[in-house]
Chains A and B, each alone.
Chain A
Amino acid sequence: ILNVEQSPQSLHVQEGDSTNFTCSFPSSNFYALHWYRWETAKSPEALFVMTLNGDEKKKGRISATLNTKEGYSYLYIKGSQPEDSATYLCASDSGSARQLTFGSGTQLTVLP
Chain B
Amino acid sequence: DVKVTQSSRYLVKRTGEKVFLECVQDMDHENMFWYRQDPGLGLRLIYFSYDVKMKEKGDIPEGYSVSREKKERFSLILESASTNQTSMYLCASSPQTGGSTEAFFGQGTRLTVV
Contact = CB atoms under 8 A, between A and B. Distances in A.
Interface of A: 1, 4, 6, 9, 31-32, 34, 36, 41-46, 49, 51, 89, 91, 93, 95, 97-105
28 contacts: A31-B100, A32-B99, A34-B100, A34-B102, A34-B103, A36-B103, A36-B105, A41-B107, A42-B107, A43-B4, A43-B104, A43-B106, A45-B105, A46-B102, A51-B99, A97-B48, A98-B31, A98-B50, A98-B96, A99-B45, A99-B48, A99-B58, A100-B43, A100-B45, A100-B103, A102-B44, A104-B41, A104-B42
Contacts, number: 63
A99 B41 CA distance: 17
B107 A103 contact: no
A46 B42 CA distance: 16
A46 B103 contact: yes
Given A49-B101, A97-B48, A102 B94 contact: no
A30 B108 CA distance: 28
Nearest to B102: A46
Given A1-B59, A97-B48, A51 B42 contact: no
Give the interface residue-count category, chain B: 20 to 34
B40 A104 contact: yes
A42 B108 CA distance: 8
